[in-house]
Amino acid sequence: MRERITIHARVITPPVFGSASFTETYGTGVNDWASVETPNTIGSDVVTFGSVAVPSGTTHVFVVRYADDITTEHIIRWEGDAYKILGIIDPDKRQQYLEISTK
């Protein structure tokens, strides 16, 4: 876990009267340490991280210390880029680490 990332929660603001769209913003975020891996693509649809299948379209897998408040409604910022969270798993079910699949 040598990479510094920021995890932001999504905030949706209802439209102002007469406007048709919601406003989507992200809070200031929480800094965290992570290891960053790129998964292997096998064939055209199957993507694996180690030997575990991850959601299709995954470009990066961030491994962070366990936190039960991280959801797919968050985004991760790393090295100036924003990554949408596709899936989150606790690989060993011991609440020590989370593997976060992103694109």
**Lowest mean pLDDT, pick from 3-7, 16-20, 24-28, 81-85:** 16-20
Domains (range + CATH), the chain: 3-102 (2.40.10.270)
pLDDT in tens, 42-68: 555 666 777 667 777 888 999 999 999
Mark residue 3 as left, alpha or beta (left: phi above 0; alpha: psi -120 to 50; beta: remaining): beta
Q: State the residue for tokens 């989370």.
A: 98
Q: Is the model's pLDDT at 93 over the cut of 60?
A: yes
Mark residue 95 as left, alpha or beta (left: phi above 0; alpha: psi -120 to 50; beta: remaining): left
Winning range, highest mean pLDDT, from 4-18, 27-41, 61-75 = 61-75
> Which band of pLDDT confidence, cut at 50, 70 and 90, is reported for residue 39?
confident
